[in-house]
Amino acid sequence: MPLSLLALAAASFCIGTTEFVIMGLLPEVAADLGVSIPAAGHLVSGYALGVVVGAPIVAVITNGLPRKATLIALTCVFILGNVLCAIAPSYWLLMGARVVTAFCHGAYFGIGAVVASNLVAKNKRAQAVAMMFGGLTLANILGVPAGTALGQELGWRSTFWAVSLIGVAAVTALAVLVPSNIPNPKASIMREFRVLGKSQVMLAMGMSIMASASLFSLFTYIAPMLREVSGLEPHHVTWVLLLFGVGITIGNFLGGRLADWRLMSSINGIFISLIILLIWLHFALPVWQLAVAVIFLWGIADFAVVAPLQIRVVDTASDAPNMASTLNQAAFNIGNASGAWIGGMALTLGLSYDSLPLVSAALAAGGLGLCLISQSMPPHIEQTADPLPTP
């Protein structure tokens, strides 16, 4: 794997940290800006909305531009957004700064995935994409806990200053390590949008939405679920979340290797594994030791599907991969929001916390159904290599 992939991963680490660290700093932000904690929580929703709205806009603006320069420019916008977050004197200015930061999120991961897949041989494309997304998974293990601790000790603004400095290092790495001659044939905007109308592209994005909705319908409420059903103390829940972060990191790289072996078969198998694990979790929750073990395996399976789905979108939209790859990031964020809403509605309608794994399993089954429909329709893309690549 080329060193340029490490530069892509460094920037994705910064972006992932910025997206999720605000969740651990809500009390500090709310107290400093004089708003309620629920109002501060809207900063999370505002970011997700910025990703969904910004992804197609930035994709259109950057259509045909050099890929390296575009990635550097997006990372610079990210740094600017974090600086604005650090100095924002009011709630609404902070919200605006979060939206500015989010605008570069979808485009960076979308374009970065296409760039990563062009930096390696065809049979290693998914592993390259997984390497780039590895920065995002490491953000959950290292960046978010460290950023939360820093913000609690020195004030929440210090976290955004620290992420800005890491962003400067990431820009430097992109400038030095990423080659300038990455192919990017200019396509007309109408051609890009026509490709998005292809049934296979829509099915692939639908799978992304269902996979993400399955995750967030359960993960959003994992802390109260573990406390109420498994009987864990709050500080023990923190360690379970850290273990889950380790699981998604392992799953991210495992998914890349599986997708380079057999793409659609791997997506099928991962969805089936998710369904089995989530049903198992439903029964394991009362025994905290079993619950923790299943949650770790669930983390592996859940993030193993990310790189394969990104490659599937690029393959089905091969005539216009940049727009489709970018909009797939919006699809993941739509799944984030809808999954959290579905989980919340299930609880509002009277379902218990131990029923949420079954809700999550049903959403994963929906993703499996879309995958099977996609396989039954031409053209069917299946990558095959003789042996399964060894580590």
Amino acid (1-letter code) at residue 307 = A
- What's the confidence (pLDDT) of residue 188? 60
Residues of the chain with pLDDT under 50: 380-391
Tell me the C-alpha distance between 306 and 301, whole Å.
10
- What's the confidence (pLDDT) of residue 390? 42
Tell me the C-alpha distance between 363 and 212, whole Å.
9
DSSP of 77-146:
HHHHHHHHHHH--SHHHHHHHHHHHHHHHHHHHHHHHHHHHHSS-GGGHHHHHHHHHHHHHHIIIIIHHH
Domains along the chain?
4-183 (1.20.1250.20), 191-376 (1.20.1250.20)
- What's the confidence (pLDDT) of residue 383? 44
CB-CB neighbours of 39 under 10 Å? 15
Q: Read off the tokens for 9.
A: 């991963």
pLDDT tens profile 68-80 = 889 999 999 989 9
Torsion of CA 99, 364, 322, 175, to 10 degrees: 60
What is the separation of C-alpha 99 from the centre of its chain, rounded to a whole number of angstroms? 17
H or E segment and range at residue 79: helix 67-87
Handedness of CA 319, 333, 358, 130 (dihedral sign): positive
Amino acid (1-letter code) at residue 174 = L
